[in-house]
Amino acid sequence: MTRNPQCPDALLARACRNALLPEEEEQLGAHLRRCDSCRVARLVATDFAHVPSVLPGDDQLIAQITARLTKRKRFSRPRAMVMSLIAAALIAFGALAAAWTARFARSHAPDQGAARAQTSAGIAAASAPTAIPTDPSAMTATAENPSSAIAPNAIGRERTGDDRRGHGDRIEHAEGTAKSLFAEANRLRSAGQVPEAIVAYRLLQEQFPHSFEANLSRVSMGSLLMGRSDAEPALAQFKRYLSSNPSGVLREEALFGEARALRALGRSSEELEAWNDLLAAYPGSVYAPMARARAQQLR
């Protein structure tokens, strides 16, 4: 028999990730002895597990591709262009209306003071679409960076106490700034300006400690600090990420960083624990061979 119609594909997939329990390994082993197709598939999967898929210089490569793909014409989407034109038309219409109101007031008002009051009211009314846009997509299209376009209005209304949209704009402003800071820090990091990048990440974490970007930045900053042999603060960064993101997308990298930092600090028992955590959570990780080798040394 070369193929079993009930091949345990789930076990094969988990075997690829080195995530089988001992009894599952036995179960899969028994199946592989009977099924040629699965045996060959398992063999080939093991072969591919040995292919190095992370190489030195990947950071730069990713930064280059990202830079290329984010460099674009101002209006790459026709919809954005149309919405911008509509926004511009609204503003122009508002300005014309304000001018007309002023002229009308000047020619009909009994005194100059009343005319000035009416002019102010007209301008305020005319500029309302700019101050409180009702269509988010229109706001997006009004500037290269939508967050920066929204922010001044949000701050202005907060100061005057006329915030009809509640916290909404403040949220957008804060997130926009966190994103900008994160992007700037990443740019500095890609450009090799490590001290400046660390300052930017720190600023991000201080100003927006609970933002998505600040969380992500802890792993980047930890790696940068490790590169400068600042193992203690690097460890703090990785630990903070791990504690606040138990299932974060960068958990694998954070665990790896934590183990390296502990190694640099000579805290062997904790280091062993960190390697074990990494292996338990990501048995098929690209760091797994290193983790296994180091864990073996420490045992």
φ, ψ at 51 (rounded to 5°)? -75, 120
Task: Give the chain's radius of gyration (CA, Å).
Answer: 29
Residue 25 interacts with another protein (CB under 8 A)? Answer: no
* Angstrom distance (rounded) from CA 103 to CA 199: 53
User: Which position among 33, 34, 37, 125 is part of the footprint of another protein (CB under 8 A)?
Assistant: 37
User: Which position among 212, 264, 265, 298 is part of the footprint of another protein (CB under 8 A)?
Assistant: 212
* Angstrom distance (rounded) from CA 49 to CA 290: 14
| Nearest residue (CB) to another protein, 146 versus 233 | 146
User: Which position among 92, 210, 281, 296 is part of the footprint of another protein (CB under 8 A)?
Assistant: 210
Burial string for 2-35 (b: 16+ CB within 10 Å, else e) reads: eeeeebbeebbebbbeeebeeeeeeebeebbeeb
User: Side-chain half-sphere of 16: how many Cα atoms within 13 Å?
Assistant: 16
Binding mask 57-96 for another protein (x = CB under 8 A): -x--xxxxxx-xxx------x--x----------------
User: Within 154-183, which residues bind another protein (CB under 8 A)?
Assistant: 154-155, 158, 167, 170-171, 173-180, 182-183
Do 117 and 102 meet the contact criterion of CB atoms below 8 Å apart?
Answer: no
| Nearest residue (CB) to another protein, 141 versus 225 | 141
With CB under 8 A, what is the number of residues at the site for another protein? 79
User: Which position among 1, 23, 47, 266 is part of the footprint of another protein (CB under 8 A)?
Assistant: 47
Residue 13 interacts with another protein (CB under 8 A)? Answer: yes
Residue 243 exposed, middle or buried by CB count within 10 Å (0-12, 13-18, 19+): exposed
| Nearest residue (CB) to another protein, 209 versus 227 | 209
* Angstrom distance (rounded) from CA 38 to CA 159: 68
* Angstrom distance (rounded) from CA 42 to CA 138: 53
User: Within 234-263, which residues bind another protein (CB under 8 A)?
Assistant: 247-249
| Nearest residue (CB) to another protein, 173 versus 260 | 173
| Nearest residue (CB) to another protein, 80 versus 264 | 80
User: Which position among 22, 51, 56, 73 is part of the footprint of another protein (CB under 8 A)?
Assistant: 51
| Nearest residue (CB) to another protein, 105 versus 154 | 154
| Nearest residue (CB) to another protein, 148 versus 268 | 148
The CA–CA distances, whole Å, from 97 to 112, 128, 190, 211 equal 19, 12, 49, 41
* Angstrom distance (rounded) from CA 260 to CA 237: 13
User: Within 104-133, which residues bind another protein (CB under 8 A)?
Assistant: none
